């Protein structure tokens, strides 16, 4: 059973999403929230597999809420998928940098959205086709940013720290000690990084960390 928390300030949207997801008996909506702050509280309470997160909300927006969820080591197994009507370039980049594994528009077909929930629960990255094209255009023109390897935009700040330690040659137990994590959480982060970057093995992560400037020579 895939557990989901819905975070959206519009009652009609949450009702529609809950009804849509209930058509799949292997998905269960465990909580709803009307703003980012309450969303973070609900996620901490229920520790769902997936959060469907709106962007523009009162009190706290979806990007800040996503950042707080990804910064909580207890929620390492929770994947955040942004679900919004906005496809602004800056929103896309900020959501991915905050740690969202996906960015979907609210006009995503129903079957695709249900499938996306399962994919996110498995740690997969997912973007709407239109968003993928825009992101690639941003990378190609230099508007997106920062990291030499564009795949690093999919990693949270904590995951980048773990990747840097991998680049230094640390084992999972050493990463756990250095970053004040449990050994199990350190292993989970390494597995998520491999999946997000599509890397074959740890040596490939070491090379990527060095080439991206995450390791001080």
Say what the pLDDT of residue 15 is: 95
Domain annotation for the chain: domains and CATH numbers: 2-141 (3.40.50.2300), 150-211 (1.10.10.10)
* 36 touches 65 (CB < 8 A): yes
Q: Is the pLDDT of residue 138 over 60?
A: no
Beta bridge partners of 104: 83
| Each residue's pLDDT tens digit, 174-210 | 999 999 999 999 999 999 999 888 887 888 888 788 7
Say what the pLDDT of residue 86 is: 73
Say what the pLDDT of residue 61 is: 93
Higher pLDDT: 121 or 126? It is 121
When the pLDDT of each residue in the chain is averaged and rounded to a whole number, the result is: 86
| Each residue's pLDDT tens digit, 20-78 | 999 999 999 999 999 999 999 999 999 999 999 999 999 999 999 999 998 898 998 99
Confidence of residue 144 (pLDDT cuts 50, 70, 90): very low
Say what the pLDDT of residue 188 is: 93
- One-character DSSP codes across 141-206: HT-S-S-SSGGGGGS-HHHHHHHHHHHTT--HHHHHHHTT--HHHHHHHHHHHHHHHT-SSHHHHH
* 202 touches 154 (CB < 8 A): no
* 44 touches 77 (CB < 8 A): no
The percentage of residues in the chain with a pLDDT greater than 90, rounded to a whole number, is: 50
Say what the pLDDT of residue 134 is: 62
Contacts of 192 (CB under 8 A, 6+ apart): 76, 123, 159
Mean per-residue pLDDT for 89-108?
Answer: 81
Q: State the Cα–Cα distance between residues 170 and 167, nearest whole angstrom.
A: 7
Say what the pLDDT of residue 7 is: 97
Helix 202-211 × helix 183-197 angle, to 10°: 70
pTM over 0.85: no
Confidence of residue 148 (pLDDT cuts 50, 70, 90): low
Higher pLDDT: 123 or 83? It is 83
User: Could you tell me which of 195, 185, 192 has the C-alpha nearest to residue 74?
Assistant: 185
Greatest Cα pair distance, the chain, in angstroms, is 53
Confidence of residue 162 (pLDDT cuts 50, 70, 90): very high
């Amino acid at each position: 059973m895939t557990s989901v928390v819905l975070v959206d300030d519009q009652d009609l949207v949450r009702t529609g999403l809950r009804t849509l997801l209930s058509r799949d008996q292997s998905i269960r909506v465990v909580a709803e929230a009307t703003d980012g702050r309450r969303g973070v509280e609900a996620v901490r309470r229920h520790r769902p597999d997936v959060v469907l997160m709106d962007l523009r909300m009162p009190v706290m927006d979806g990007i800040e809420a996503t950042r707080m969820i990804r910064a909580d080591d207890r929620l390492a197994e929770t994947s955040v998928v942004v679900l919004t009507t906005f496809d602004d370039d800056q929103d896309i980049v900020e959501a991915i940098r905050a740690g969202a594994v996906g960015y979907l528009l609210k006009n995503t077909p129903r079957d695709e959205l249900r499938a996306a929930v399962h994919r996110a629960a498995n740690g997969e990255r997912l973007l709407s086709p239109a968003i993928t094209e825009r992101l690639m255009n941003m990378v190609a023109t230099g508007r997106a940013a920062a990291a030499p390897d564009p795949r690093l935009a999919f990693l949270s700040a904590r995951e980048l720290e773990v990747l840097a330690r991998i680049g230094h040659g640390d084992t999972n137990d050493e990463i756990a000690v250095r970053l004040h994590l449990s050994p199990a959480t350190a292993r989970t982060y390494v597995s998520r990084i491999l999946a997000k970057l599509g890397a074959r093995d740890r040596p490939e992560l070491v090379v990527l960390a060095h080439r991206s400037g995450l390791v001080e020579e």
